[in-house]
Amino acid sequence: MTRALFDPLTLRGLEIRNRIWIPPMCQYAVDAQDGIPTDWHLMHLGSLARGGAGLVTVEATGVSPEGRISPEDLGLWNDEQAQAFRRLTAMIHSQGAAAAIQLAHAGRKASTWRAWGDHPEGNVPAERGGWQPVGPSPRAYDGLAVPTELTAEGIADVVVAFIAAARRAVNAGFDVLEIHGAHGYLLHEFLSPLSNGRTDAYGGSLENRARLLLEVVDAVRAEVGEQVPMIVRLSATDWVQGGWDLPQTEAVSSWLGEHGVDMISVSSGGNVPAEIPVGPGYQLPFATSIKESTGLPVAAVGMIDDPFQAEQIVALGQSDVVLVGRESLRDPNFPIRAAEALRYDMPYKPAPYERAYR
């Protein structure tokens, strides 16, 4: 039986085996604080690839040391890191999945404690590996340090850092690049009027607030060439009156399409504290709306946990792809389980596990 969820999808000549993809998920597991992937990352990503996903996205990876969310984030600002990433892409490819990496700058939400374990409030102090965060404006995220406002030179350095990280990522074997423009990190901070109070060419009008994101996209495309598919992850709304919202997201998404972006990964929130009406598929309407208004392929995310729900989303054309996050942490074999539930004869179930599926 054919199933929409298991139809391959092609982006710029890269055929991806199905429509169940793994979104970026920070592990905060680099205990050495040097940005270099460890055995944990190898095992974690390897198991997700073995579980049958079409594409596995490596977590938000700092394009510069101060672009990390926490000191324990992955980084891609030097060659030693790039070398270590080769093991990850080889492992993901060995299991038949495509490998993506989310290139990120955390902006004013940088130098925070990792999201698990005990830790105090606020930012990580210098003696624990922390640093002074930067942002579009000296406006703090609730409970965090006031960021240093980026100068024009500082903004240019951010673009250069994305270029260098993109080059290293492609050289390390990644098939797809994702630019992190969501969740209240630097590029989203520039987009949203709540975090961007600049009066220069990077603030004010929507064109100006989107300038840095478009510069990053153009610069990365110029660096890596036409072959490499590029995804941009956006928050469709700040969930707050007067903040970033769906109409602005749709406008910027269509510009991104004109600038050669191949897909929008549609998330929401993260820039300011907000009440978010969480529930099954709660962000899907944003993805569908962006798909319809721009004609661009989209990836939907957010509590898509059930095989039939996932199949219906793709079959009805509400999204081109579903991203399964926490459910794939609970069960890295979710795609295999979905195939079984949907009576799809998955040709890439791991052969050594055959007896488990008879």
Ligand X SMILES: Cc1cc2nc3c(=O)[nH]c(=O)nc-3n(C[C@H](O)[C@H](O)[C@H](O)COP(=O)(O)O)c2cc1C
CB-based contact 148:138 (threshold 8 Å): yes
| Nearest-CB residue for ligand X | 325
One-letter amino acid identity for 286?
F
Catalytic residue among 28, 141, 185, 202: 185
Q: Cβ closer to ligand X: 208 or 309?
A: 309
Work out which of 18, 64, 102, 271 binds ligand X, going by CB under 6 A.
Answer: 102
Q: Which residue has the tokens 């085996």?
A: 17
Active site residue 185: yes
Query: In this chain, which stretch among 44-52, 79-87, 177-185, 253-261 interacts with ligand X, using CB under 6 A?
Result: 177-185
106 touches ligand X (CB under 6 A) = no
Q: Which residue has the tokens 């700092």?
A: 62
Enumerate residues 6+ apart whose C-beta is below 8 A from 10: 16
CA distance 196 to 33: 30
CB-based contact 95:50 (threshold 8 Å): yes
Tokens matching residue 118: 């005990």
CB-based contact 43:88 (threshold 8 Å): no
The CB density around residue 275, as the number of other CB atoms within 10 Å, is 8
182 touches ligand X (CB under 6 A) = yes
What minimum distance in Å lies between the beta carbon of 152 and ligand X? 27
Binding track, positions 11-40, relative to ligand X; x by CB under 6 A: ------------xxxx--------------
CB-based contact 16:55 (threshold 8 Å): yes
Query: In this chain, which stretch among 6-14, 106-114, 250-258, 298-306 interacts with ligand X, using CB under 6 A?
Result: 298-306
| Beta-sheet pairing, 148-149 with 98-104 | unpaired
What minimum distance in Å lies between the beta carbon of 201 and ligand X? 27
302 touches ligand X (CB under 6 A) = yes
87 burial type by CB count under 10 A (0-12 exposed, 13-18 middle, 19+ buried): middle
179 touches ligand X (CB under 6 A) = no
What minimum distance in Å lies between the beta carbon of 73 and ligand X? 8
276 touches ligand X (CB under 6 A) = no
CA distance 249 to 296: 13
339 touches ligand X (CB under 6 A) = no
CA distance 21 to 135: 31
Work out which of 50, 233, 291, 349 binds ligand X, going by CB under 6 A.
Answer: 233
Size of the site for ligand X (CB under 6 A): 20
Residues 308-337 that bind ligand X (CB under 6 A): 324-327
CA distance 137 to 278: 30
180 touches ligand X (CB under 6 A) = yes
Q: Cβ closer to ligand X: 158 or 353?
A: 158
Work out which of 81, 267, 288, 319 binds ligand X, going by CB under 6 A.
Answer: 267
What minimum distance in Å lies between the beta carbon of 226 and ligand X? 25
CA distance 140 to 184: 11
Instruction: Count helices and strands (H / E) in the chain.
Output: 11, 13
What minimum distance in Å lies between the beta carbon of 174 and ligand X? 15
68 touches ligand X (CB under 6 A) = no
- Interface residues with ligand X (CB under 6 A) are 23-26, 59-60, 102, 180, 182-183, 233, 267, 301-304, 324-327
The residues that are catalytic are 185
